[in-house]
A and B are shown apart, each in its own frame.
Chain A
Amino acid sequence: GQNIDQPTEMTATEGAIVQINCTYQTSGFNGLFWYQQHAGEAPTFLSYNVLDGLEEKGRFSSFLSRSKGYSYLLLKELQMKDSASYLCAVKTGRRALTFGSGTRLQVQP
């Protein structure tokens, strides 16, 4: 079976740094994606990791450890517009993604 775990909710302060963790146990692994989803909107792609290590893209970074089945998304210099749900997804097979339930991040002033 497939199991992807993320915290349900997190709260952080504007200007701060927040780390959103994702652990996975899947029958296959062909890469891990992070998506951002604002309420009532479509998920939008943030990052992709397939090799161990850190991928940096502006204020957002994503880390992967395949041996530990672990990833995190790091958001720096938080802004109010970063309030959204963050979805961790593993490409487990041919082309489809298996998603975690998402982490709802609330950024406070």
Chain B
Amino acid sequence: QKEVEQNSGPLSVPEGAIASLNCTYSDRVSQSFFWYRQYSGKSPELIMSIYSNGDKEDGRFTAQLNKASQYVSLLIRDSQPSDSATYLCAVSPRYSNYQLIWGAGTKLIIKP
């Protein structure tokens, strides 16, 4: 089992709809969770970090963390074509206070 798993996609969503991206992780004691967006040929850029159970909202983005079920999700409201990218989930494991374990990413396509 991979430490951090994401559906590779592509996930196709109509413009204006809600895009829902999911990530599961294996280390129950993980403390820090990150969503990064990566455009083709570019480096990852941080969308949101979340550390506590529940929802965290930032503009059109909402991160949801459920430590009991070991999943973290990212919702994108009012999806725009510019949101088309690969979304990477990263988790800070118990055995390291600096290393991040990365999922392979979900490719999101927003159709106009």
Judge: A and B partners, yes or no.
Answer: no
* Interface residues, chain A, with chain B CB atoms under 8 Å away: none
